[in-house]
Amino acid sequence: MKTPQTLERSHGWRKWLLRHETLLLVVLVLEWSLFYYFGTSVNRRGMTVGFGTLDRQFDILRHSCEIGLLALALTPVILAGGIDLSVASLLGLCAVIFGQLTHDLGLSLSIAAGATVALGALAGGLNATLIAGLRLPPLIVTLGTYSLFRGLAEALTRGAVTYSDFAPRFLSLGQDRWLALPVQAWVFFAVAAGMWMLVHRTVAGRSFRVIGFSPEGARFAGLPVTRNLAGVYVLAGAIAAIAALIYTARLGQAKADAAIGYELFAIAAVVLGGTSIFGGRGSVTGTLLGVAVIAVLKNGLATLPVVIRLNAAEEISGMLTGFLLLAALAGSTIPKLVSARRNRSWSNGSFISPSP
Amino acid sequence: MNSSRRLFLQGTALALVGCLASPLALTAAEGKAMIALMPKSKGNAYFLSCKIGADRAAKELGVELLFDGPVDSNAAKQNEIVENWITLGVDAIAVAAENKEGISTALRKAQKQGIKVVTYDADALADARSFFVNQATPEGIGYALMDEAARLCGNTGEFAMITASLTAANQREWQKKIEKRLAEKYPQMKLVAVRPCDDLKDKAQSEATALMSANPKLKLIMSICSPGVPGAAEAVKQAGRVGQVKVIGLGLPNENRRYVKEGVIDSIILWNTENLGYLSVYAAVALANDQLKPGAKSFKAGTLGEFKIEGDQILLGKPFLFNKENIDQFDF
Amino acid sequence: MSRYSRELSVLAVLAAMLLALGVWAPGFYRLQPLLSLATREAPVLVVACGMVLVVIARQIDISVGSQFSICSVAGGLLAAAGWPMVLVVPASVAIGAMLGMLNGALVAGLGLPSIVVTLAMLVTLRQGLNLFRQGEFVTLPDGVQWFGLSQSVGQALILAATGVLVIVLAAALRHVALGRQIYAVGSDAEASRLAGIRPRWVTFFAFAALGALTGLAAAMNVVQSPQVQPLSGNGMELKVIAAVVVGGVAISGGRGTLWGATAGLMVLACISPALVHLHIEAYWEKAIQGAVILLAAIAEGLRRRRSDA
């Protein structure tokens, strides 16, 4: 039940949202500077190496394109109060399908790529039908498709087949540069710009937040809830397919186990960026910043000599990311709790999740 | 907590981390060569035992050895770690490649910076490294496993295979060679099933139990993933079918010693992993010092003696069979 | 009876599966392999029972796999250090409880969303364990496996303990006040608060209980073999949540039973051996699992529509 106090607090929420992104930006600049200072050096061979090199920065950009795309795909989904655990599995499935289309069916690269994106959207449509159409809980549906898509990828390849030997023209998507930046970065920027326009400047996009805030209220307000909700899942599928193409081009190989575990970091990036996991609140800018903070953290830590010597880059960055996520959550929730206690009310009962 | 205070705390935390980083950066050993060794996955006991031999070699040669790898087999992470080593400016890198093509880009970069590259256990693309230290060819491994299985089954009967995951590259290679040998030499034997265990000993145990139950005439379970061998052995033991269903596989002596002594496992096939690490480090250092050049036909590695080089592959030798008689001589 | 329609349909599916196996793969019904399967899955069932509590309270915990791994390794190390099993088991339970309480404090105390909190914990705990153990097996001394007793006695002990635990927990959920409070909080936290219940404490308790049960499950797993693999909890969260969901526990809270979750776990646990016995290739397994989860969700959705209409 939304009380008048909640409406009043929504203005406070908007102010807070802005502050959250600024904070994130500050954190990003801070960590970047720290890693630049401590992670760049002249190595034993006399070359300048480490975090501060252009090479390294491009690598960070390259590595974050796929998770970034998945995070972008998840943003409208989570804004609208849903969730999609299946995006990384869908990436794997699309990668394998692309491999089959180009290798087994001999289709040209562009046709195969187009077909892959279409199939990705179709798969997203399965989520859409079950979640928006049948009104099933997104957590369960995407838990099911998480296994189903990965399973289909394994079944299609019998687990064994790996597609490599792609045309150099295709590999350049993942490994070359265009106009001074890695090629996939341009794709990522294009998708990011498109997503920003969609979420923040279109009527449909604005409806996502309303739907996430209160689906029933949105329905009563006459918004096409079912259609828009279905749309975000289909869109997520299409973007996952694009990410699959980039992933395959970068590694030069399409395998059923592509991108295992990526969905967790994508979700972490979205939440870190200030989007509430319950929906109704968040922004694309926040997601981009979240991806940047996590990517810089992961890669930057790995350039610190002490971390290299400890052979613990992955573990330490994993743990720090976990802490960062908790800190970001605590940081955004504690003020609400404090004011709630002051008002002596339970407001939305923030620790109880609305029906997922 | 308001925003500025939170900012201050976060900033302090990061600054502390940074402060820890800088003094240690200055303690880089001057003058000592730095060799970097990467396993496919850091926790895998197989690679940890390679490290033992590598450490020994590093001590003998007076070089500094770095050992790092992904926690679970992850090609993208391997690339990142190679990048770090390029940053550090190591003298040579020895890598067990999870993904042949994927790692080659990073390795080529290293080579361009003057860092010497060898691969061991699992190869990268030929132009991305100078030599491949091969413990045994996939053919050697596959044939050894199949021959041993046939010997234990009397050249006839059903057997099943447990692998790591259906997509693991090394295991795929070995499986292909095993099936080839099976088709060529042992037409009276049948491979009834291949089940993945995801590198989990407990899952391997469940799979083995189901395999025995579903195939009552099963004579042997072969596990080509090392955590799967003790898992399958435990399953046979708990099923009370020791002796009726043989267990062999690619595994480490220490993990399987108990079962070998009890007669549950007949033999495990491997190669001396310590020697593999030892040889890899020696080769890497020799490359870095220009003592080992492309085109060489043989290579002498410290106390281990001479090793044959075929093309650009340094061969460790034939797979080694561990069984009840000799397993106590090994500790890895 | 319609109150339990969800659970009954799961039982129906389970019965159908078992019947199909009886017809096409009668080899499935052999005592020893079934005993082994049951003993292997008993720890998972214990964790699932804990998960039921948390899900009924309208939360979720995806870090149980990492908790399980930590408790297994801790238990193994204590046993290897000479502690008798009589002390190791409670120690494992305690460690699990502490991890659960940490989750509970963050979710109930600070009001953070459980899915993100437990996601962060999943990553942090797993990486912490990797840092510490580097994936190395823990070798257990003789006398740990099956508590030093024979295999049959050990298996019987584990199965009996699990059975008793499930029955007691189910009874407690229904008849003990705290149990009913979990349902209340999951249904409507605000209403339950007005009714005098303290939702924060109930939620905290649910997480702590899940942690303790995970610790117990880890101990039950440790005694089943002579070595502990640190990766052993990998993927457990998926299995447990799927079992709970298939078993009729509503993800929106307030509804569900332990025996439904048990049936759900049995359905999922039978998929793998069924494939082996039906000689179906292993690469279909994930797809089938996913399909089962989806079908369960669809069935629930259809039933809800029919009852709403």
Cα(A35)–Cα(A321) distance, rounded to whole angstroms? 16
Residue C16 three-state SS: helix
Q: What is the DSSP letter of A166?
A: -
Q: Domain for residue B147, yes or no?
A: yes
Q: What is the pLDDT of residue B10?
A: 53
Which of B40, B77, B238 best probes binding to C when mutated, by most C CB atoms within 10 angstroms?
A: B238
Rounded mean pLDDT for each run of 10 residues along chain C, 309 residues in total: 76 89 87 90 96 95 95 94 91 97 94 91 91 81 86 91 95 92 91 91 96 96 90 89 91 88 93 90 91 88 72
Neighbours of chain A (3+ CB pairs under 8 A): B, C
- B116 lies in the same domain as B76: yes
Distances (CA, A) of B125 to A30, A274, C108: 39, 43, 53
Token pair recorded at residue C271: 């998929």
Q: Domain for residue B16, yes or no?
A: no
Cα(A25)–Cα(A19) distance, rounded to whole angstroms? 10
Q: Which range (A106-115, A142-151, A152-161, C71-80) has the least confidence?
A: A152-161
Cα(C257)–Cα(C217) distance, rounded to whole angstroms? 19
Q: Which residue of C has its CA nearest to A135?
A: C301
Q: Which range (A148-152, A221-225, A326-330, B228-232) has the least confidence?
A: A326-330
Residues A270/B180, Cβ–Cβ less than 8 Å: no
- Condensed to tens digits (0 to 9), the pLDDT of residues B176-227 reads 999 999 999 999 999 999 999 988 899 999 999 999 999 999 999 999 988 8
Q: State percent of chain B over pLDDT 70.
A: 89
Q: What is the pLDDT of residue A318?
A: 86
Task: Please count the residues of chain B.
Answer: 332
Q: Which range (A15-24, B29-38, B295-304) has the least confidence?
A: A15-24
- B111 lies in the same domain as B231: no
Predicted model pTM: 0.84
Domain boundaries, chain A: 19-36+51-332
Q: What are the φ/ψ torsions at residue B157 (nearest 5 degrees)?
A: 120, 180
How distant is the Cα of C132 from the closest Cα of chain A, in angstroms?
10
Q: Which 179-208 residues of chain B touch chain A by CB within 8 A?
A: 196
Which residue range(s) make up the domain with B89?
34-135+273-316
Residue A192 three-state SS: helix
Cα(C261)–Cα(C103) distance, rounded to whole angstroms? 22
Q: What is the pLDDT of residue A12?
A: 60
Mean pLDDT of B137-154: 90
Distances (CA, A) of C176 to A87, C59, C70, C139, C194: 42, 20, 31, 41, 20
Residues C213/C50, Cβ–Cβ less than 8 Å: yes
* Cβ–Cβ contact C283 with A under 8 A: yes
Strand blocks (E) in chain A: 40-42, 48-50, 177-178, 181-182
Which residue range(s) make up the domain with C149?
2-308
Query: Alpha carbon A144 to chain centroid distance?
Result: 19
Cα(C246)–Cα(A74) distance, rounded to whole angstroms? 25
Cα(B280)–Cα(B94) distance, rounded to whole angstroms? 7
Name every chain B residue with its beta carbon within 8 A of the beta carbon of A306. 20-21, 24-25
Q: Are strands B298-301 and B305-310 parallel, antiparallel or unpaired?
A: antiparallel
Q: What is the pLDDT of residue A354?
A: 45
Token pair recorded at residue C273: 């051996």
- B162 lies in the same domain as B265: yes
- B66 lies in the same domain as B190: no
Q: Are strands C138-139 and C227-228 parallel, antiparallel or unpaired?
A: antiparallel
- Condensed to tens digits (0 to 9), the pLDDT of residues A188-198 reads 999 999 999 99
CA proximity to B91, closest of B232, B285, B292, B315: B285
* The amino acid at B115: I
Q: What are the φ/ψ torsions at residue B274 (nearest 5 degrees)?
A: -60, -40
Token pair recorded at residue A304: 């610190």
State the total domains in chain C: 1
Residues B130/B94, Cβ–Cβ less than 8 Å: no
- B210 lies in the same domain as B187: yes
With an 8 Å Cβ cutoff, are A337 and C59 in contact?
no
Query: Alpha carbon B175 to chain centroid distance?
Result: 16
- C-alpha torsion sign, points A338, A341, A346, A349: positive
State the total domains in chain B: 2
- Condensed to tens digits (0 to 9), the pLDDT of residues B288-328 reads 888 888 888 888 888 888 888 878 888 887 788 888 888 88
Name every chain B residue with its beta carbon within 8 A of the beta carbon of A174. none
Residues A71/A266, Cβ–Cβ less than 8 Å: yes
Q: Which range (A323-337, B23-37, B83-97, C40-54) has the least confidence?
A: B23-37
- B255 lies in the same domain as B175: yes
With an 8 Å Cβ cutoff, are C225 and B234 in contact?
yes
Q: Which residue of A has its CA nearest to C111?
A: A351
* Cβ–Cβ contact A27 with B under 8 A: yes
Which of B40, B67, B71, B244 best probes binding to C when mutated, by most C CB atoms within 10 angstroms?
A: B71
- Condensed to tens digits (0 to 9), the pLDDT of residues B47-94 reads 888 888 899 898 888 888 998 888 766 777 788 888 888 877 888 999
Q: What is the pLDDT of residue C253?
A: 83
* Cβ–Cβ contact B216 with C under 8 A: yes
**Residue B298 region by backbone torsions, left for phi larger than 0, else alpha for psi between -120 and 50, else beta:** beta
Q: What is the pLDDT of residue A93?
A: 95
Q: Domain for residue B207, yes or no?
A: yes
Q: What is the DSSP letter of C104?
A: H
CA proximity to B36, closest of B119, B112, B136, B124: B119
Q: What is the pLDDT of residue A311?
A: 65
Nearest to C127 among A151, A315, A346 (CB): A315
**Domain A19-36+51-332 classified CATH 1.10.3470?**
yes
Residues A66/A259, Cβ–Cβ less than 8 Å: yes
Other beta carbons less than 10 A from residue B303's beta carbon = 11
Over chain B, what HEC string results? CCHHHHHHHHHHHHHHHHHHHHHHHHCCCCCCCEEEEECCCCCCHHHHHHHHHHHHHHHHHCCEEEECCCCCCCHHHHHHHHHHHHHHCCCEEEECCCCHHHHHHHHHHHHHCCCEEEEECCCCCHHHCCEEEECCCHHHHHHHHHHHHHHHHCCCEEEEEEECCCCCHHHHHHHHHHHHHHHHHCCCEEEEEEEECCCCHHHHHHHHHHHHHHCCCEEEEEECCCCHHHHHHHHHHHCCCECCEEEEEECCHHHHHHHHHHCCEEEEEECCHHHHHHHHHHHHHHHHCCCCCCCCCEEEEHHHEEEEEECCEEECCCCEEECCCCHHHCCC
pLDDT, greater one: A71 or A16: A71
Mean pLDDT of A282-290: 92
Q: Domain for residue B18, yes or no?
A: no
Residues B38/B69, Cβ–Cβ less than 8 Å: yes
Nearest to A311 among B3, B67, B77 (CB): B67
- B145 lies in the same domain as B261: yes
Element (H, E) at A31: helix A4-39
* Cβ–Cβ contact A356 with C under 8 A: yes
- B222 lies in the same domain as B129: no
Cα(C71)–Cα(A272) distance, rounded to whole angstroms? 29
With an 8 Å Cβ cutoff, are C122 and A264 in contact?
yes
Place of tokens 């491949």: B132
- ipTM of the complex model: 0.89
- B165 lies in the same domain as B243: yes
Cα(B166)–Cα(B194) distance, rounded to whole angstroms? 9
Cα(A91)–Cα(A89) distance, rounded to whole angstroms? 5
Other beta carbons less than 10 A from residue B313's beta carbon = 16
Nearest to A148 among C108, C251, C294 (CB): C294
- B156 lies in the same domain as B191: yes
CA proximity to A24, closest of A342, A325, A300: A325
Q: What CATH number is associated with residue B75?
A: 3.40.50.2300
- C-alpha torsion sign, points A70, A76, A77, A79: positive
- B283 lies in the same domain as B226: no
Other beta carbons less than 10 A from residue B304's beta carbon = 17
CA proximity to B6, closest of C57, A333, A66: A333
- B123 lies in the same domain as B220: no
How distant is the Cα of A50 from the closest Cα of chain B, in angstroms?
5
Which DSSP string corresponds to A83-142? --TTHHHHHHHHHHHHHIIIIIS---HHHHHHHHHHHHHHHHHHHHIIIIIS---HHHHH
Strand blocks (E) in chain C: 138-139, 227-228
Cα(A244)–Cα(A247) distance, rounded to whole angstroms? 5
